[in-house]
Amino acid sequence: MSSAPAPHQPFVPPDQSPPELTWAPVAVGSLLGIVFGASSLYLVLKVGLTVSASIPVAVMAITLFRGFSKAFGLRRATILENNVVQTAGSAGESIAFGVGLTMPALLLLGFDIDVVRVMTVGVLGGLLGILMMIPLRRAFVVKQHGTLAYPEGTACADVLIAGEKGGATARMVFLGFGIGFAYQFLMLVGHLWKEVAAKALYTTTAAGKTVGLKAGVLAAELSAPLLGVGYIIGPRIGGIMVGGGVLAYLALVPAIAYFGEGVDKPVAPAVSKVDEKTGVDKGLIKHMSPKDIRDNYILYIGAGAVAAGGIISMLKAMPVIVGSVAAGFRDLKAERAAARGGTAVAVPRTERDLSMTVVLFGSIGMVMALALAPAVGLGFTPAGFLGAIMILVFGFLFVTVSSRLTGEIGSSSNPISGMTVATLLLTCLLLLILGEAGVIPLGKETKLAALTVAAVVCIASSNGGTTSQALKTGYLVGATPRSQQYAILIGSLTSALVVGVTLLWLNQAGTVYTKKDLPTTRIDVAALTVTDTVRSGQYAAEDSTVYKVLNVGESETGAPAPAGRYLVNADGVIAYRVDPAVNGTLEEQDNGNKVNKFDAPKTRLMSLIINGILDQKLPWELVLIGVLIAVTLELAGVPALPFAVGVYLPLSASTPIFIGGLVRWLVDTLRKAPDEGDTSPGVLLSSGYIAGGSIAALVAAFLEFAPNVLKALNLEHLVEGVSVGGTPWAESNLPVLTAFGLLVAVLVAVGARRPRG
């Protein structure tokens, strides 16, 4: 006969009340949330994924406060104060993921990345996710303790408890941060080595004949953040991702190039693009570069695969979804019944939440604020009211799902993108039905409303899962839930306010203003209301003209120019095409200077869904090929979503992630045991690589606005004239391979080290 499990005993008993919600932990947590949120945004735009920041933030909090205590003779922070730091800091990563996943799609729909719009959606979505999670805490964190594992939340609690006992430091995180920052800074700002090592797998003879794998290029963007991501996610997922890249860029691209060699007309969706100087039609497959083939064909295949992979991952979790929603409603019903019970009962400190009144009216207030804010595209219109209702319904549904899945598989594996795709599909289909029935108008503003609904639900779901994870950590260490809820509300607010500016700066820093291949159509300037100037690029110092802006969205019919953003002079002549950093196509300015671009793999998927459903125009053949690839992988027992992301991303982005996974496998082999998980030296060093390298990339982006400083920090002159095997240093693969090899060697040495004792 089995006995009942012993009641949960937190590390800090309920009858003790050490300092907890004080100003210093909230301020430090908010600051670390901004830092890790910025690095997460960089990762989302670069490769479409991110990793949990809770554990690195917790480790850094312990060491920072311990250092302050020794340096200034201050009181040591309590474990509950350190927990407040990780709670407030964890919000930055989740909000950055939601914003980076959805808001750059504005550019593809013909809108600007307006900082007010991004801030508004980020703030309201983040706060809504927290409020909707609060009534679910008892259902998931308390009542299912021992059933829902919350792997990252439990590991974070272990770190905090070990730190309280004196057994944990942030040495490895800080070491990784310093190494990752130095490596990435010397590469991006110092230009001591190039970013991508590449080797073409074909050659062209003097007679013009191709020998080898036509259009096949083996490439790797050897960056510190991607190496760290690969180490954390491990060899299996890393291998699956690079497998998708191998299929796309070493199989599909060469196959398209081979079969297109004898085709003398453009194959849709490519269109004819005759170069005026050479007379060559770049719309023909035989004249396309590997990148052109990717842009015209592989992106649609990859988008179909990502959409199908996300939906499949959500369907596999459908039993959990149904159970989670039912459990949420049961918990709400039980709480209301208890409130009507009559006699007041003293509530232990560890069970005190924000009241349901705050949750209910706060949630309604958030949705009303969304409708009132004209910048987000809802407003007091039929489509706006419908959008508000969908935000409430889908928001509660997927916050519940996200919170439950975080407890089962952790926040890093939580399929938020699949939930966002499902929200967007249902929203667009409903808007299309109402538009066809004449209830609402179908147009550009309707697309903005659809994206707004998906973005708010995405951010709310992401932050809801993070909140549940933080509350699990608090449950284990004995925190006051209400204090944590206040902390993460403050952390969400500060991170959301900064992430919009960060996204805007990242996009501006890599924006190219080109005068090449401009449309010759005269534009009606009177019809344009938005104005802008050239704010970056080689024209910044010499062109101060104020231009009118023409924004043309993808799939927009009757537009005077192809999709994109244009600056138009007073005579109606297009003076510049503005190619953004996010999902842009130009990798260098007109003078040849390279710029940093972001593929934002899941962002284009949002645009494809919106345009494809509302405009009923999409190369469905290519999209369905991607869908069938995902289905095939699932039938073979391989997770489709990471493979699909590999198909969409350039091979150069998934290769370093695979290398990181191989390093993890090597470390496990050398140790003759798996690395100890989220608190091991290797994982903590990798977290530092991610944070340090990403922050260095942000610094490099911001320095684009200070060209004199950027020029002074450029160290290319140190290697000018140096060659490696007959190849100029700046073009050789050897320098970057050597520097990256040192990164790998340090990671292997740290990760393979056996623990003492």
Tell me how far apart the alpha carbons of residues 87 and 69 are, in angstroms, rounded to a whole number: 21
Q: For the chain, give percent helix, strand, coil, nearest 5.
A: 65, 5, 30
Tell me how far apart the alpha carbons of residues 153 and 136 are, in angstroms, rounded to a whole number: 16
Please determine, for residue 283, whether its predicted confidence score (pLDDT) is greater than 80.
Answer: yes
Confidence of residue 22 (pLDDT cuts 50, 70, 90): very high
Confidence of residue 705 (pLDDT cuts 50, 70, 90): low
132-149 confidence digits (pLDDT tens): 888 778 777 887 777 776
C-alpha dist (Å) from residue 349 to 105, 115, 479, 482: 44, 40, 8, 9
Largest Cα–Cα distance of the chain, in whole Å?
Answer: 93
State whether residue 227 is helix, strand or coil: helix
How many residues comprise the chain?
A: 757
Tell me the average pLDDT across 710-728: 85
- Mean of the per-residue pLDDT values of the chain: 82
Please determine, for residue 255, whether its predicted confidence score (pLDDT) is greater than 90.
Answer: yes
Tell me how far apart the alpha carbons of residues 110 and 128 are, in angstroms, rounded to a whole number: 27
pLDDT at residue 423, rounded to an integer:
80
Backbone angles phi, psi at 413, to 5 degrees: -100, 0
Give the bridge partners for 576, in sequence order. Answer: 567
Cis bond before residue 650 (omega within 30° of 0): no
Give the bridge partners for 582, in sequence order. Answer: 598
Most confidently modeled range among 199-213, 552-566, 680-694, 735-749: 735-749
8 A C-beta contact, residue 119 and residue 61: no
Q: Looking up tokens 């992430």, which residue turns up?
A: 499
Confidence of residue 2 (pLDDT cuts 50, 70, 90): very low
92-147 confidence digits (pLDDT tens): 888 888 888 888 888 888 788 878 888 888 888 888 889 888 877 877 788 777 77
Could you count the other beta carbons within 10 Å of the beta carbon of residue 444? Answer: 14
Amino acid at 18: P
Q: Looking up tokens 């291998």, which residue turns up?
A: 239
pTM beyond cutoff 0.85 = no
Please determine, for residue 85, whether its predicted confidence score (pLDDT) is greater than 90.
Answer: yes
Higher pLDDT, 302 or 276: 302
3-state SS, one letter per residue, for 302-364: HHHHHHHHHHHHHHHCHHHHHHHHHHHHHHHHHHHHHHCCCCCCCCCHHHCCCCHHHHHHHHH
Higher pLDDT, 410 or 124: 124
What is the percentage of the chain residues whose pLDDT exceeds 70? Answer: 86
Which distant-in-sequence residues (6+ apart) come within 8 Å of 618 by Cβ?
A: 555, 608, 611, 612
State whether residue 425 is helix, strand or coil: helix
Which distant-in-sequence residues (6+ apart) come within 8 Å of 500 by Cβ?
A: 99, 115, 116, 117, 118, 119, 122
pLDDT at residue 679, rounded to an integer:
60
578-601 confidence digits (pLDDT tens): 988 888 888 888 877 778 788 776
